[in-house]
Structure 1
C-alpha cells in the first residue's frame, strides 16, 4: 500500500509540473516576479476519491478521514501536504475547519503556534503560494474589495501593458494597465484594466478609498452605464482597482476620431447611449433606491464630482459604422457618499475637489475655499457635457 501511495505522489508531482508548462500557468507576485501557479482544475483533474483513499490508507496507522470531505473542502491543503510527505497532517486542518476557502494562510494558526505541529504549518505556508493564485473570477460575489495581499500571492497575469506608453509610473498618481488574465483563473474571457496607485501618499489613498467605497455600493445592474468594477487590492504600498476594459477609449477620443452619426439608426444609438448616462447617474445618486424605506431607514446617496468627456468611456467593440457601444462613467476618486433619513433633510456632499469645468457655480473655487456640492451638480455636469457633445457634432470642433 505504501508503495502504491508513493507512486501516486510521484505521479501527482509530474502531473502538476506538466500542467503548469502545458497550460502556461505563469503569473506575477507582488514583486512583479514571474511565478508558476497551479489552478484548482489541475487538482480536480488528477485526484479521485480512490486515489485520496489510497493515500489515507498508506500509513501503518491509517488516516481516518473522509475522501469525500477532503475532495470537496480540503483538496488544496491535502495536495500541499502530500507533496510535503505529510498527508496525515490533514487531520489538523479538518479538526480546526481550515478549509481551502481560508487559504492562503498568512501565518501559523494561533491554535497551533505553540504546539508541536507548528513546523507542519511553517512548511505548508512555504509551499502553499503556488496552489493559491488570486482568483480574479470576475463573476464572483462578494468581490474582493481593498484586500490586503502578501507579496508571495501570485496574480494570474498573462500580459500587462500601459494604456498610455508615455505614463510615468514613478510620477503620476495613477497608471492604467491593460491586463490579460489566465483563462483558468478568470471566466471573463477578455482584458481588464488595472488602475494602479503606485505611490502611497495621503492623496492617493484618499482617491483610492473614495473610488472603492463608491464602486462597492453599486448594484450589479448599475454597470450598464458605469464601468464594471471587479474588485480591488493592496500590496507593498501599491493600491490596485480592477475595472472593465473599454476598447473604444474615452468620449473625448471618440469625438476626435469619429464622424458624426449619419443615418437615423446611428443617431438613435448614439443619443440612446448618451442619455443612458443619466441612468448611470441615478444609480450613483441613490444606492438604496430599491430598498423598502420608511422614516426610520437611511438612504445612501453619492456624487461623482469629476464628470467630463475624458471620464466617460466607450465600452464594447465598436467600429466607425457602429454606434452601439455604451458610454460609461469612470474615475470615482473624487466621489462622495452621504447618508440621509428617508424623506429627511438631504445634506450637501463634501467637495472632493473634482473637475470644475462642467460644474455649477457653487463648485467654483476662485478663492481656494472648499464648498458643499448641491445634489443637482452631477446632472448639470452631464447637461454641460451634452451641450459640448452637441457643439462637437454640429461644428466638428473640439470638446473642451
Structure 2
C-alpha cells in the first residue's frame, strides 16, 4: 500500500482499512482475465464496513475535505475505499467535482477534465492499480452486452467445474459466483462458455450472441415471458482474447447423458411424460425458425436455423418432481446457427449451411466431394427438422430397447455407412442417411420398434411413423415445418392416450433389451395388409438405390403392372387454398408414390394438370420434373383457380381427343389400323381433391362432365373400363360429395373414390374392377382403412 503525504492519524486509517481487507472472513476470491486467483472485496462487504460513524471518523482526519457522508455512502463508496486504501483520500473532491463516481468504475484512463498535475497523475496511477480489488464484475440482468473487459477485471468465481472442452475451440464450465456479486433474479450457478480459439472465436461467439438476441427480440411485447425450451442467456463479454457467454446451467446435463444414466419408462404414464417432454423441443424450433411475422409495420422478417440439433445440445432439467420422465428440455449451443432476412420480394430466401454436427445433419448438408466443399451451400429451416427426427429416432430406440439398444443402433449405422464409398471417412460415418435418403438401419429399427414395443406402449410406434412420414424425408418428400409438427404431435399424443387408457392394463413386463448385434432380427414373413403410400415410397427408394426392395410390395406392384400394362395415366391436382394449407405434404408424397408406379405402367410419360390453370398440360417421362412443378404450385401464394367443373371439363376434352373414334374401331381388320389403335391406350384419370368445391350444386356440374365422358365412350362403342376416373380424397370434409360421384351411375360405373391412406393398388384398379370399386372405403382419416389385397383387373 503506497503512503502519501498524510498525517499519522490518516495513515493509521489506511493501515487499519488495509488490514480489514486482508481478513479471511472479509476478502473473497475470484479470477482475473488470465485465470489467476485474486482477492476482492464486494460492494456488500464495503457497505457493511463503512457505517456512518466509521466514514465520519475517517473524514475527521481530513480538515480540508468537504465530502458529504451521505453522498459517499450512496454513490462514492468504492471511490472512497480505494482512496483510503492508497492513502489518497484528500483528493476525493477531484472525483466528486468531475462526477467520477462508482458507476464509472473501473476507470481505464485518466479523466480528460482533470487538470494537468504530476501529483494528480500519481494519485490516478495508484487508483488504477488498486481499483480492481474493489470492482469485481457485478452480474445483473441486461448489463453484460458484449463489453470488452480489462484483463485485470476480476470475475467473482467462487467455484468452477469443467464440463466440456471442444478441441481447443471452446470450453464449457459450470461456475458458481459469489452471491454478493449477483443481482436478485439471476442464479449464482451458471454456465460460462468461453470460445478460446483466436481464429474461430469471434465468428462462433457472434453467431451465438446474434441467435439469442434475435430470439429474445422477437417477442411481440415487453411483457412476453422468456422463450421456453431455449437455454436462458444472461449476457456476454470479451476478456484477454476470450469470448464468453453466460448461460443457464442444466442440473442433469444433456440428453445424451440422460439416456446413459436413466432406464426407459416402465409404464404408459412414464412413456407419455417422456414423449410429452420431447415434443416441447418442437416449440423451441418454432421460435428459432420464425422470428416475427411480416405485417403492416415491417416489410421483412428473419428466419433462422440452429443447424446443430443433437442430444449433446439438448439440456435436461427435472421439474422438481420425483418423476424422472417429466423433464424440461432446452435447446443450446447456437454456434452453428444462421439467421437471414426474408421479404415480400424474396419470400423463399435461404440461409448459409454452417456445417454443424455431421452425424445428425440432413442429406442436403453433406459435403463428401471436393466440389461440394468449395461452394456455399444454401439451406432452410427443414435441416433442423431432419436433425430433430434423428434425435427422436434415437429416443424411440432408447424408450423401447434401452441404452444398449441405442448403442447398437449407432453401430448399425456406422457399419452401413462404412459400405458407402461416398460417405466412408468423410466425417459423416454413422449418420442417418446415405447422402440422399434414410439408411436401411433407420427403416429397420423403426420396424423393430413397432414389433417389439410393450403392449401398453401406444405412443412410441406412432412416433416412428411421424419420423418416417414427416421428418426423415429426402428432398423429393418435403418435411413438415416446425409449426405443422407441433400440431401433429399434439394430435398424436391425444390419440395414443385414448388408445392406452381406454383399454385394461396388465402388469408391465420387463422391457426388451437387444442382445444381438444385428438390428433388427429377421423380419417376419410378409402379410397381405394394404400397401401404403409410405411403403411405395420406400420401394421407389430401394429401386433407385439398387437395394433389395420389400418382397411383398415388389411382387404386388409387378403384378399390377402386368394387369394394366400400357394404360395412360393423367393427374388433375386440386391446388385450391384448402388443399395447399392443409394437405401440401400429403399431396406431394401421394403424387410421388402414384406417379412412380404409373410411370412403370405408362411407357410414354404422364400428364399433369392443375385446377388453377386447367388449360395447361405438363407432360414428362421423368416424374421428378412433374413433382417439382407440383411443389412450385403448392408453395405459390396465389389463390387463383378455376372451378372444379371447368377443370374436369378441360381434362375430359383432352381425354376425348385421345379416344379412338367409332369409325376407326370398325376398321380394325384393315392393315395398319390395329397398330394405330394400339397408340390409343386406355386411360386412368386421378383427381386429387378434398371435395370442397364451393356448394352442393358444384357436385352436379362435375357429375354432368363425367356423364359427358360416359356418353362419349358409349357412342364410340368403347368398353366401360376404357377410361377410369379415380378420386383421391384428402381429409373428411368432402367425403359425402365424393361418395355421391362414386355412385351416380351404378349401371355403367367409371368413377371410384379412395382416401390417400387406402391401399395403393386399389387406387389403380378402382372402377375397373367392381369388387374393388364397391369396397367400403369411406373410412374417416382418423381411423385405419380396411386392409385389402390386389384384385384382378379383368377387362383392363
TM band (smaller chain): 0.7 to 0.9
Q: Structure 2 CA distance, aligned partners of 1:343 and 1:6?
A: 73
Match of 1:98 in 2: 100
Q: 1:217 to 1:295 in 2, by over 3 A?
A: closer
Match of 2:517 in 1: none
Alignment check: 8 A CA contact 2:145 2:236 kept: yes
How far does residue 31 in structure 1 lie from its aligned partner after superposition? 2.0
Is 1:157 aligned to residue 157 of structure 2?
A: yes
1:87-107 superposed Cα distances (whole Å, 9 cap, x missing partner): 232222222322212211112
Q: Structure 1 CA distance, aligned partners of 2:65 and 2:153?
A: 34
Q: 1:261 to 1:46 in 2, by over 3 A?
A: same
Match of 1:257 among 258, 261, 266: 261
Q: 1:259 to 1:54 in 2, by over 3 A?
A: same
Q: 1:130-149 counterparts in 2 under 5 A?
A: 130-135=133-138, 137=139, 140-149=140-149
Q: 1:1-400 counterparts in 2 under 5 A?
A: 9-18=14-23, 21-22=24-25, 25-63=28-66, 65-112=67-114, 114-116=116-118, 117-135=120-138, 137=139, 140-164=140-164, 167=165, 171-186=167-182, 188=186, 190-201=188-199, 203-219=200-216, 221-288=225-292, 293-296=295-298, 298-316=300-318, 321-341=323-343, 345=347, 347-366=349-368, 367-368=372-373, 369-396=375-402, 397-398=405-406, 400=410
Q: Which has the higher contact order (CA 8 A, sep 6+)?
A: 1
Q: Structure 2 CA distance, aligned partners of 1:352 and 1:328?
A: 21
Q: 1:75 to 1:341 in 2, by over 3 A?
A: farther
Q: Structure 2 CA distance, aligned partners of 1:195 and 1:67?
A: 42
Q: 1:45 to 1:190 in 2, by over 3 A?
A: closer
Q: Structure 1 CA distance, aligned partners of 2:379 and 2:366?
A: 10
**SS in structure 2 of the partner of residue 315 of structure 1:** strand
Alignment check: 8 A CA contact 2:299 2:344 kept: yes
Q: 1:295 to 1:83 in 2, by over 3 A?
A: closer
Alignment check: 8 A CA contact 1:149 1:233 kept: yes
**Gapped regions of structure 2 (runs ≥ 5):** 1-6, 217-223, 411-796
1:281-331 superposed Cα distances (whole Å, 9 cap, x missing partner): 222234446xx9525454343211111122111124879952233111111
Q: Structure 1 CA distance, aligned partners of 2:367 and 2:37?
A: 47
TM-score, length of structure 1 as denominator length: 0.85
Q: Structure 1 CA distance, aligned partners of 2:336 and 2:74?
A: 44
Q: Structure 2 CA distance, aligned partners of 1:60 and 1:181?
A: 41
Segment of structure 1 superposing worse, 188-197 or 207-216: 188-197
**SS in structure 1 of the partner of residue 181 of structure 2:** coil
How far does residue 4 in structure 1 lie from its aligned partner after superposition? 7.6
**SS in structure 1 of the partner of residue 245 of structure 2:** strand
How far does residue 214 in structure 1 lie from its aligned partner after superposition? 1.5
> Which one has a bigger Cα radius of gyration?
2
How far does residue 85 in structure 1 lie from its aligned partner after superposition? 2.1
Segment of structure 1 superposing worse, 379-388 or 191-200: 379-388
Q: Structure 2 CA distance, aligned partners of 1:9 and 1:53?
A: 14
Match of 2:567 in 1: none
Alignment check: 8 A CA contact 2:238 2:244 kept: yes
Segment of structure 1 superposing worse, 102-111 or 355-364: 355-364
TM-score, length of structure 2 as denominator length: 0.45
Q: 1:15 to 1:394 in 2, by over 3 A?
A: same
**SS in structure 1 of the partner of residue 62 of structure 2:** coil
**SS in structure 2 of the partner of residue 275 of structure 1:** helix
| RMSD value, Cα | 3.0
1:108-160 superposed Cα distances (whole Å, 9 cap, x missing partner): 2233384452322111111101001112x3xx221413321212111112222
How far does residue 70 in structure 1 lie from its aligned partner after superposition? 2.1
**SS in structure 2 of the partner of residue 146 of structure 1:** strand
Alignment check: 8 A CA contact 1:296 1:342 kept: no
Q: 1:266 to 1:83 in 2, by over 3 A?
A: same
Flag the structure with higher helix content: 2
Q: Structure 2 CA distance, aligned partners of 1:78 and 1:342?
A: 59
